[in-house]
Amino acid sequence: MKIVFATNNAHKLREVQQTVGDKFEIVSLRECGVVEDIPENEPTLEGNALAKARYIYSRTGLSCFADDTGLEVDALGGEPGVRSARYATDGHDDEANKRLLLERMQGVEARGAQFRTAIAFIIGGKDTGQIGLQNHVILRQTGHQPQHISIHRRRFPVKANGANSAGSVGTDAHIGPLFRLR
């Protein structure tokens, strides 16, 4: 079965393809002729993931999945969250986002945070009603740069209504384990 992954990131594509083996043929947006930016206007990670999956299905007619990830900092009430890529500007300016985050964290000692990924699936034209959540809990920062962190990963499959099912410790694969949701 061919399934579109809402990315052109070669590393993510390879990681997922290795995880699912030959059960699915994972193809990129570009391979399906989707070259435009996909709107991410929803107020939640789950909403963005589902909107992107629906957009891809409407453009390709193929089974697909899409993700959205955000950094949630406890001391900032979960910010930047769904706005992580556009935290400091309307564009994807990683350096500006890091500067703003560090500025807002000045003087804050409790630096708990997590990366959270939501993944939505449309299989055979049907919204599966399942959204996978994968938490990447930041245990400690190993340097002064925000990208140097140690991560403990957990995944929590949830139904579209938000009810959690039992979570388990995930693997290093970013999205691949969530194929087991079906």
Set 67, 68, 127, 172: catalytic member: 68
Average pLDDT over residues 156-171: 33
pLDDT band at residue 129, thresholds of 50, 70 and 90? low
**Nearest CA to 49 among 181, 175, 180, 177?**
175
pLDDT attached to residue 138 = 57
Q: Which residues pair with 77 in a beta bridge?
A: none
Q: Which residue carries 């890529």 as its tokens? A: 85
Average pLDDT over residues 36-47: 92
Q: What is the count of structural domains for the chain?
A: 1
The CATH number of whichever domain residue 7 belongs to comes to: 3.90.950.10
pLDDT digits (tens, 9 = 90+) for 55-79: 999 999 999 999 998 999 989 999 9
Rounded to 10 degrees, the C-alpha dihedral 30/31/32/37 comes to: -10
How many of the other CB atoms lie within 10 Å of CB of 144?
7
Average pLDDT over residues 158-176: 35
Per the structure, the complete domain to which residue 12 belongs is given by: 2-181
76, amino acid identity? L
**pTM attached to this predicted model:** 0.73
Q: Is 67 a catalytic residue?
A: no
| Contact status, residue 6 vs residue 57, Cβ threshold 8 Å | no
pLDDT attached to residue 6 = 93
pLDDT attached to residue 158 = 37
**Nearest CA to 11 among 180, 175, 133, 181?**
175
Q: How would DSSP label each residue in 36-84?
A: SPPP---SSHHHHHHHHHHHHHHHH-S-EEEEEEEEEEGGGTT-EETTG
